Homo-oligomer: A and B are copies of this chain.
Amino acid sequence: MSAPLLVRFVGGSAGRWRVERMQAVAGDPLPSVTHVAVVEGAEPAPPSEGVWSLRGVTSHERYTERSERERLVAVQPALGRPEATRAALIPIRKSASWWELTQDERRAIFEERSQHIAKGMGALPAVARRLHHARDLGEPFDFLTWFEYAPADEAAFDDLVAALRSTEEWSYVEREIDIRLTR
């Protein structure tokens, strides 16, 4: 766990990742763009301004317990694998009623009742993932999750996303955009 890393996802007409499709799963859509640039830390922004820019920070884990982390660390892949030419950026915002819950209540919904970590484990080691926290930055979304996988693993990723959307945890998601990308 290093210091929080600020990451900007800049949607526009330039960037390493080409947009295959954008879908507003819940709430307002984002304006359509053809490319997304991922800008980490002090890296310069892309020359074009972009149509939208979403900011988030990698940070310490909020729910994962020691035994869960050890199982995750043993199998989770890094970002940037050469074969992982598909990506998904999924910004979500949860409702005020989620944020009014206490830590024990949120944890119980997140894992004991929705199996968020356990479901995610089912997509490992195929799908690499990085979570970015955005709520405390005053952004329109609470979380920006970035996934990378090989084309052959897209069905497994789709199954994971569908399984999560059917959980009690997801009943608190009031805005969600599913952006699929290729490079």
Give chain A's interface residues, CB within 8 Å of chain B.
Answer: 1-2, 4, 6, 57, 59-66, 68-69, 96, 99-100, 102-105, 107, 133, 135-138
Contacts and interface: CB of A to CB of B under 8 A. Distances in A.
A4 B136 contact: yes
How many copies of this kind of chain does the complex include?
2
Given A135-B4, A136-B136, A138-B4, A102 B62 contact: no
Given A57-B136, A59-B136, A136-B137, A64 B102 contact: yes
B138 A65 contact: no
Contacts of A69: 102
Given A59-B136, A61-B103, 6 more contacts: A1-B100, A57-B136, A62-B103, A65-B103, A66-B105, A133-B136
